[in-house]
Amino acid sequence: MQRWTAELVLDVRADLGEGPLWDARSGELLWVDIMAGLVHRFDPVTGNDVALDVGTPVGCVVPRAVGGYALGLRDGFGIANGDVGLVARLDTGRPDLRMNDGACDSRGRFWAGTMQLDCEPGAGCLYRLDADGSVRTMLSGVTISNGIGWSPDESVMYYVDTPTRRIDVFDYEPESGAIANRRALTELEEGAGDPDGLVVDVEGCVWVALWNGSAVRRYGPDGELIGVVDVPAGRVTKAAFGGAGLDELYITTAAGDEPLAGGLFRVRPGVRGLPAHAFAG
């Protein structure tokens, strides 16, 4: 099994750093500080990090094909292009819900899920925002909707609902965006930490962040544990491949007791990631 150690690249002391994603248009790493309502753009060449205050909790950010960004906000899906506004409100009747992790598939559909602020079991859902602005509920009864990713051949979708302690896999149909046949890729052992965000590399392996686990784990497509990135912060939230060659793994963390908690970290694991897709709407 391979092992790496991540190094600090930005001592930003985020409260709840999450959702890193490489924006190839600008050569920047996008990431969010959820409850602070901040969307960050980090330039690894200059070291500059610029934050946009969107005025509400923000669970995730993705590029938008026509410019600007699409967001998973507290009340639904939003757009930031100068101004910030909702484009699809989630009429849940629950002001204590917020959106969490999200990603776009290859057809530009934006997938993101919700959770209750106190993690009420089964209160959340996984949604899909299509290019025409319509929203579909893809899963219900979710507790903490987290990592979403697709295999390189797009035959499967990976998904994490954190309290299940599993990385799940669905059969995936890329043209329609349909998912079916949910089953576990792997279940984490007690004491490892809780599965959080995930990202998939070009070899089809899944890198999952471990909340309260001080690590990112790499699992093969068969569910075998084949690598570990040690992170000098306990609450590890998500990883994303970035850099011009998509060969740098950036890792977000949340506040905690460690001196570097809430920092942004990086490691070069010797494998490349897949390009992030933009929202088509």
What local confidence, expressed as pLDDT, does residue 82 receive? 83
Pairing type for strands 2-5 and 97-104 reads unpaired
Task: For residue range 116-159, list pLDDT tens digits in order.
Answer: 999 999 999 999 999 999 999 999 999 999 999 999 999 999 99
Domains of the chain, start order: 2-267 (2.120.10.30)
What local confidence, expressed as pLDDT, does residue 83 receive? 87
User: Which residue, among 91, 80, 242, has the nearest Cα to 251 in the 3D structure?
Assistant: 242
Long-range contacts of 164-167 (CB under 8 A, 24+ apart): 165/194, 165/195, 166/195, 167/195, 167/198, 167/206, 167/208, 167/219, 167/223
pTM of the predicted model as reported, rounded to 2 decimal places: 0.97
Catalytic residue among 33, 168, 194, 196: 196
What local confidence, expressed as pLDDT, does residue 93 receive? 82
What local confidence, expressed as pLDDT, does residue 209 receive? 98
Q: What gap in Å lies between CA 174 and CA 259, rounded to an integer?
A: 43
**What is the arithmetic mean of pLDDT over 196-219?**
98
Burial of residue 83 (CB within 10 Å: 0-12, 13-18, 19+) is exposed
What local confidence, expressed as pLDDT, does residue 260 receive? 98
pLDDT classification of 192: cutoffs 50, 70, 90: very high
Secondary structure of the chain in the HEC alphabet? CEEEECEEEECCCCCEEEEEEEECCCCEEEEEECCCCEEEEECCCCCCEEEEECCCCEEEEEEECCCCEEEEECCEEEEEECEEEEEEECCCCCCCEEEEEEEECCCCCEEEEEEECCCCCCCEEEEEECCCCCEEEEEEEECEEEEEEECCCCCEEEEEEHHHCEEEEEEEECCCCEEEEEEEEEECCCCCCEEEEEEEECCCCEEEEEECCCEEEEECCCCCEEEEEECCCCEEEEEEEECCCCCEEEEEEECCCCCCCCCEEEECCCCCECCCCCECC
**Ramachandran region of residue 52, left (φ > 0), alpha (ψ -120 to 50) or beta?**
beta
Active site residue 118: no
Beta bridge partners of 219: 206, 225
Task: For residue range 90-102, list pLDDT tens digits in order.
Answer: 978 888 999 999 9
Length of the chain: 281
Say if residue 194's pLDDT is above 90.
yes
User: Which residue, among 238, 235, 208, has the nearest Cα to 22 in the 3D structure?
Assistant: 238
Task: For residue range 25-80, list pLDDT tens digits in order.
Answer: 999 999 999 999 999 999 999 999 999 999 999 999 999 999 999 999 999 999 99
Tokens for 154, please give them: 């797009």
